Amino acid sequence: MGMYINPGNSGFAEINDSDYVDKTGLIELINQTVEKRNKLTCISRPRRFGKSYAAKMLTAYYDCSCDSHYLFDDKKISKTRDYQEYLNRYNVIYLDITSFISEAKAQNQSLRDVPVMIQTAIKRDMAESGFDAIGEESLTEYLIRCVQKNAGRKFIFIIDEWDAMIREAKGNEAVQQSYLNLLRGWFKNANFTPKAVAAAYMTGILPIKKNGSQSAISDFREYSMIKPRKYGEFVGFTEAEVRGICEEKGIDFGAMERWYDGYAFKDVGSIYNPNSVMQAVDNHDFDSYWTETSAAEGLLDYISRDYNGLTKTIAELIGGVDVKVCTTGFANDLTTFRGKDDILTLMVHLGYLAYDSVSKTVRIPNEEIKQEFQRSIREVKHPETIRRLTESDRLFADTIQKNQEAVAAQIEKVHAEETAALHYNKEESLRSVIKLAYYTYRDYYIQFEELPAGEGYADILYLPRPDSKWPPLVVELKWNGSAQGAIDQIRKKKYPSVLHNFGGPILLVGITYDKDADAGEKKHACKIIEYRI
What is d(CA 437, CA 527) in angstroms, rounded to the nearest whole number? 17
* Each residue's pLDDT tens digit, 228-250: 999 999 999 999 999 999 999 99
pLDDT, mean of residues 10-30? 94
From 40-44, 220-224, 309-313, the region with the lowest mean pLDDT: 309-313
Taking the alpha carbons of 198, 159, 180, 208 in that order, is the dihedral positive or negative? positive
Helix (H) or strand (E) segment spanning residue 210: strand 210-211
Residue-averaged pLDDT of the chain: 90
Neighbours of 440 (CB within 10 A): 23
Nearest Cα to 332, choosing from 321, 320, 346?
346
pLDDT reading at 424 higher than 50: no
* Each residue's pLDDT tens digit, 282-319: 999 998 887 655 444 578 888 888 888 898 899 889 88
What is the structure's pLDDT at 453? 84
pTM to 2 decimals? Answer: 0.87
What is the phi/psi pair of residue 478, to 5°?
Answer: -130, 140
What is the structure's pLDDT at 530? 95
- Which range of 40-49, 167-176, 303-312, 478-487 scores highest in mean pLDDT? It is 40-49
Cβ neighbors of 472 (< 8 A, separation 6 or more) are: 461, 462, 463, 464, 499, 502, 506, 507
* Each residue's pLDDT tens digit, 82-134: 999 999 999 999 999 999 999 999 999 999 999 999 999 999 999 888 888 78
* Each residue's pLDDT tens digit, 379-391: 888 888 889 899 9
What structural domains and CATH numbers belong to the chain? Answer: 10-223 (3.40.50), 234-290 (no CATH), 299-377 (no CATH), 383-531 (no CATH)
Quick one: what percent of the chain has pLDDT higher than 70? 94
In three-state form (DSSP H/G/I as H, E/B as E, the rest C), the secondary structure along 450-507 is EEEECCEEEEEEEEECCCCCCCCEEEEEEECCCHHHHHHHHHHCCHHHHHCCCCCCEE
* Each residue's pLDDT tens digit, 446-457: 888 888 888 888
